[in-house]
Every structure is written in C-alpha cells, then in structure tokens.
Chain A
Amino acid sequence: MATEEYGRDVGPHGGGVTGRISDWVNDHIRTVLLGPSLVALFVVFIYPAVMLLWLSLLNTRGFGETFEPAYNYERIFTDPTFWNAVENTLVYSFGSLVVSVGAGLVIALALNKVTADRLRNGYTTLILLSWAVPLSIVGVTWRWMFNGQLGVVNRVLLDVGLLSSTFSWLTTSSTAMAVIILADSWSRIPFAAIVLLAGLQSIPQEMYDAAKVDGATSLQTFRNVTLPYLRPSFFVAGLITWMFAFRAFAIPFSTTGGGPGGATETLAIYIHRFGIQLLDYGFASAVAVILVSVTLVVAAGYVYFILERMEEIEV
C-alpha cells in the first residue's frame, strides 16, 4: 500500500541503492539485528558442541582413532578415579554452595540494615573486590597463603600458639579440600550477597507497614515477610552458585592442581587431564557429555523458573 505512493521502484526510504538497502533492512529487521548473533553462536557453540558428541564416540586411547560408540562410556564406569572425581565435585560444589550462600545471606541482611547509602556502597564495593579477581589469581593467592613452609596462615597459627610446627595444608587431603572450598566461596560470596540484597530490596515497603499495623514484632516480620519474599532470590543465588561450582576448573586447578593424589580432582580437572594433557580426547569428551547432561537438567529447572517470571512481567 505505502509503496504505491512512491511509485514502483522507490520505497518509503527513497530510491537508489541506499534507499533499497534501508527498505530491505526495515522489512527484515529481526534478521538484521538478531541474525549475526545467532550465526556467531552457531559457529562458536553448536559446532564444538556437536563435535563433543562425535568425539565421545571415538576410541582415542593409544594411536589413531576408531569409531567405537560404547567404548568410552563403558570405560567411565569402570574407572575408579572417575568416581573419586564425582565425589570430590559433589563435596566441592555443595561445600561452596553452603558457605557462599550462607555467608552471602548474612552479608545481604546486614547490608540491608545499613541505611546510609554511601556507607552501604562502600561496603558493597569492598565486598565485590574478590568477585573481580581473576579465577587463577584466586587459586595462586590461596595456594600462597596456605603454603606448607612459608604460608602466612602457618605463620599466624604459630605465633598465636595453635600450631607447634608448620602444617602442610595443601598436601593433606581433607585440609586441601577445605582450602579450595574456602577459596571458591571467597570468590562467589559477592555474587550471592548482591543477588540476595537485590531480593531484600525488592520487598514492597507496604508489606512491612502492614506487619507493623498488625502489631508484629521484628522477629515475626522477619520470619513471615522477609524470608518468604526472599525465596526466589535464594533459589537463583543457590542454583547459580551450585551450577558454577559444579563445573569449576580454574580455582581448584590453580590452588592444588587436583592433588594430593587426586584428593581434590574435580570432574573439570579430570576432563582437562584426559582431554588436554593425555590427549585421550574421546574419553574426556564422554566424561564431558555426562557433566553437561547433569548441568543441563539443573539448568532446565532454572530456565523454567525464568520463563515463569517472564510472563508475570511481560503481561
């Protein structure tokens, strides 16, 4: 209809090549704005992801590669170091979840009590610092602090009198795991605190006013208003923290390298060891497929949650 006013060859944006291009762009706005991203994601994500599935079906032990679909998957379940890695990953991810979301909640509640904006921003900035530290730097920092001979932790404990001689934190299985959980939490606490604080601040003031009118004490208000309203943020912070700790590579790898004797080898380090160091990429890919599957099941729960809330907001 509109084109008729301009004649046959001239669109609403004028004639000539530029006019025709801008007409075409206008008619295909979605393709123009979204297309490049989807093409990019296809190249950098779908291509390697499909390759991952394909590699997992190859026997790459020793020289050459042969197509043996079940070989790697059968091998996984008979490899005792795989189950060791699974156990470590679970201890690590749930340990980090409890510590970082727990500490994040306490920090968020405290931050929410600070009424002076500048003071609260100051605290938030300082707490955000550890989030911004590159993950391998987190690792080497904690590695250095807990060093068996020269570490500052030993130094402090010796000075205080809690230790009588230096202790090798990172070459003792249980303490090595505790240290990497602590290091991981150190880097994840800010995220949990920020998400939970945002949740606290989104609670409508009317709810508190209503509780006050009803004569509720501060403890009752906390239990019956704050906590229920915080549940969605709690869910998001917990799920994201767990999911990212479950796949963590950089922090455990740079703190302990998976040692001593595999005591802190997480699935990510396990995959890296086979895929990149031993070049048994078929086997590494099969393990990766399992790790990805587990994560995607959990991620599906998260996506479902987002889509639910999306409708609330869009309508």
Chain B
Amino acid sequence: MAGADLTNERYRRRQRVWDVVESPYVVHLVLFLAVLFIVTPLVWMLLTSLKTRQGVLAMTYLPLEPTLDAYSRALIDRGFWRAVVNSVIVASASTAIVMVLGTPAGYVFSRYRFPYDNAVFVFVLFTRLFPPIGLVTPYYRIVSTFGLLNTKTGIVIANVYLWLPLVIYIMRNFFITIPTALDEAARVDGCTKVQAFRHVVFPVVLPGFAAGTILTFLYSWREFLFAFTVSTDLQSMTIPVATFLFVGDAGIDWGAMAAAAVVSVIPSALVVIAFNRYIVVGLTGGMKG
C-alpha cells in the first residue's frame, strides 16, 4: 500500500511539472526564444549593412547614421548587381527545366506500371540522396571539357541534377493523392492519355505543382557548392558566391558583405513569407509517400 502511494505521489508530482511545461506561457516562451534565435542573425546582418565603415569598426549595436552606402559599395562599386541578375536567371531557368521534366515523370510513377518501374523509382531516390560533393570533381572536369566553366549554363545543368530527382519524387506523391478514377473518367469522355494528364489531372495537382516550383526556386537560389565550382566570374556567378568572395579580401569590408548578404536573403525571405503554406506542404510532401 505504502509503495503504491509513493509511486502515485511521484506520478502526481511529474504530472504537475508536465502541466507547467504544457501551459500556454511556456509554449509561447519557447516559441519566442526560437524565433529570437532564428531572426537575430538576420537582423544583425541588416543592421551591419546600414552602418558606415566607421560605424562597423566602432562596434555599436545600432547604426548611428543609417546609410545605404554599403549597398552601393557592394552592388555598384563591385558590380555585384550583375550577380543578382545572374542568380535570377539561373534560378528561373533551373526551376523551369526541372518542373517541365519532373512533373510528367512524377505522373508516370504515380499511374503506370512498366518493366523495372520500382527499380527506376529507387534509382531516382538514390540520385536525390547521392552526396553532391561526390560529383563536384568529375563535374568540374566535364564542365571544363565542354567549355562551360564560368557560364550560367554550367550552373543550370548542375541544378537540374540536384533538384530533378526531388521534384519527380514530390510530384509523384502529389499525383498519388489524386484518384485514378479521374483519369479514367477523362479517357471515357474521349481524352487521349496526354489530354487526360494535361487538362484533367494537372489542374487538380496545381497546388502541389506550385509547392514544387517554389521549393525548386529557393533551392536553386541558395545553392552554393556547384555555383562556386563552376563560376567565380562576374559574368556568371550567383549572389551567394559573390557574397562569399568578400571573405578572401585582405581587409574585409564587413558592411558591404552584409549588404550583399541582405540582398541575397531578401528574395528568399519574401518567397517564404508569401508562400509559407506551400513550402510546408513541399517539405513534408517528401514523406507522405
């Protein structure tokens, strides 16, 4: 009896602790701290980018005389506005190619049986999980052989390798959620198989397609390894690479570097704020299958 009471007592104490842990105050405190941890580095970059050169060296918290001078040093004096343009071109082209190739492929995996279909699907998954760092050395050689070093094409091709398997997988998972009865109905009504895909099934999967597009754009925008390997030339390098190049300077202009960093974060941040639901769907769409 006494033993049971004791464990009971211990249990009740634990339950009381748990009630505190679960209370709204603690929940919001946790989330507040998490947001603080995530946002502080970004805010710090923004503040740094608004300081004068002296302000950066003086180590003040806030920019005493806020100025956009650092932005003009990074974007105009260094010419990094071209890197921004390159980034937009590379990310858009990569996203377009990947979505056009990957969406029908995902559809086929969700609908049709064919010889070795599971093996081909596993191959696609493995391509996705293959470490890109492993391909960098041969890729560098191939790119130089074909004269694609320091070109945007070289970066776009790398992005196709990186994101096509992911998109095939995600799109397949979205297509699977749509009943095949829909295709069959379209076929009965006289659609060809392509028409059934394009005019009947595709419109239904549009939210998934949007999620895939947004995800691919963000991934291509933030890619560093291949972009850095292929190009460090102003004609073709992307803005994340350009920002990194500040690190090699003798006396790093931290203000200008922060400005370049802010410029490369802004598009991603806007996409996240505008399309957060789609991103959540896209990120978790990879596991619903």
Residues of A in contact with B (beta carbons under 8 Å apart) = 13, 22, 25-26, 29-30, 32-34, 36-38, 40-41, 44-45, 47-49, 51-52, 55, 103, 106-107, 110-111, 113-114, 121, 123-137, 139-145, 147, 150, 152, 155, 186, 189-191, 194-195, 198, 217-219, 222, 233, 236, 243, 246-247, 249-250, 254, 257, 267-268, 271-272, 275-276, 281, 284-285, 288-289, 291-292, 295-296, 299, 302-303, 306-307, 309-310, 313-314
Nearest CB of B to A24, in Å = 11
| Residues in chain B near residue A130, CB distance under 8 A | 38, 41-42
B22 within 8 A of A: yes
Q: Is the CB of B105 within 8 A of A135?
A: no
Q: Which residues of chain B (234-289) have a CB below 8 Å from chain A? A: 239-241, 243-244, 246-247, 254, 257-258, 261, 264-265, 268-269, 271-273, 276-277, 279-280, 283-284, 287-289
Nearest CB of A to B217, in Å = 10
Q: Is the CB of A219 within 8 A of B18?
A: yes
B122 within 8 A of A: yes
Q: Is the CB of A218 within 8 A of B272?
A: no
Residues of B in contact with A (beta carbons under 8 Å apart) = 14-15, 18-19, 22, 24, 27-28, 30-31, 34-35, 37-39, 41-42, 44-45, 48, 56-57, 59, 61, 101-102, 104-105, 107-109, 112, 114, 118, 120, 122-127, 129-142, 157-158, 160-161, 164-165, 168, 176, 192-194, 197, 218, 221-225, 228-229, 239-241, 243-244, 246-247, 254, 257-258, 261, 264-265, 268-269, 271-273, 276-277, 279-280, 283-284, 287-289
6 A–B contact pairs at CB < 8 A?
A34-B108, A121-B276, A132-B222, A144-B45, A236-B287, A314-B176
Cα of A217 to Cα of B101 in the assembled complex, Å? 52
Cα of A233 to Cα of B284 in the assembled complex, Å? 10
| Residues in chain A near residue B118, CB distance under 8 A | 307
| Of A37, A52, A114, the contact of B164 (CB 8 Å cutoff) | A37
Known A22-B192, A144-B258, A268-B133; judge A275-B222 contact (CB<8 A).
no
Cα of A147 to Cα of B247 in the assembled complex, Å? 12
Nearest CB of B to A307, in Å = 7
Known A44-B160, A47-B142; judge A249-B133 contact (CB<8 A).
yes
Q: Quick one: which of A129, A131, A195 has the most chain B CB within 10 A?
A: A129
5 smallest CB-CB distances across A and B, nearest first, come from: A275-B137, A33-B104, A134-B222, A132-B268, A37-B105
Cα of A189 to Cα of B105 in the assembled complex, Å? 31
Q: Quick one: which of A41, A147, A310 has the most chain B CB within 10 A?
A: A41
| Of B161, B165, B240, the contact of A135 (CB 8 Å cutoff) | B240
Cα of A222 to Cα of B35 in the assembled complex, Å? 25
| Of A136, A236, A281, the contact of B137 (CB 8 Å cutoff) | A281
Nearest CB of B to A78, in Å = 21
Q: Is the CB of A126 within 8 A of B134?
A: no
**Known pairs A132-B272, A195-B283, A303-B122 / 19 extra A-B pairs, C-beta < 8 Å:** A22-B194, A38-B105, A45-B127, A48-B139, A49-B138, A55-B141, A110-B31, A113-B27, A128-B276, A134-B221, A134-B223, A136-B240, A140-B247, A141-B45, A150-B56, A247-B133, A250-B224, A303-B126, A306-B287
| Residues in chain A near residue B41, CB distance under 8 A | 130, 141-142, 145, 186
Q: Is the CB of B129 within 8 A of A296?
A: yes
Closest to B242 in A: A136
Interface of B is mostly: helix
Q: Is the CB of A126 within 8 A of B35?
A: yes
| Residues in chain A near residue B59, CB distance under 8 A | 150, 152, 155
Known A48-B139, A51-B138, A133-B268; judge A29-B225 contact (CB<8 A).
no
Q: Is the CB of A129 within 8 A of B42?
A: yes
Q: Is the CB of A306 within 8 A of B157?
A: no
| Residues in chain B near residue A309, CB distance under 8 A | 289
Q: Is the CB of B137 within 8 A of A41?
A: no
Known A37-B168, A134-B222; judge A52-B272 contact (CB<8 A).
no
| Residues in chain A near residue B192, CB distance under 8 A | 13, 22, 25-26
Q: Is the CB of A243 within 8 A of B129?
A: yes
Cα of A284 to Cα of B134 in the assembled complex, Å? 9
Q: Is the CB of A288 within 8 A of B38?
A: no
Cα of A247 to Cα of B130 in the assembled complex, Å? 10
Nearest CB of B to A118, in Å = 12
Q: Is the CB of A292 within 8 A of B102?
A: no
Q: Is the CB of A30 within 8 A of B114?
A: yes
| Of A106, A144, A292, the contact of B48 (CB 8 Å cutoff) | A144
Nearest CB of B to A82, in Å = 15
Cα of A41 to Cα of B168 in the assembled complex, Å? 11
Q: Is the CB of B134 within 8 A of A292?
A: yes
Q: Is the CB of A49 within 8 A of B35?
A: no
Known A25-B194, A130-B42, A310-B289; judge A110-B244 contact (CB<8 A).
no
| Residues in chain A near residue B268, CB distance under 8 A | 132-134
Q: Is the CB of B18 within 8 A of A218?
A: yes
Nearest CB of B to A253, in Å = 8
Closest to A158 in B: B59
Nearest CB of B to A271, in Å = 6
| Residues in chain B near residue A285, CB distance under 8 A | 137-138
Q: Quick one: which of B34, B192, B271, B289 has the most chain A CB within 10 A?
A: B34
Cα of A23 to Cα of B39 in the assembled complex, Å? 56
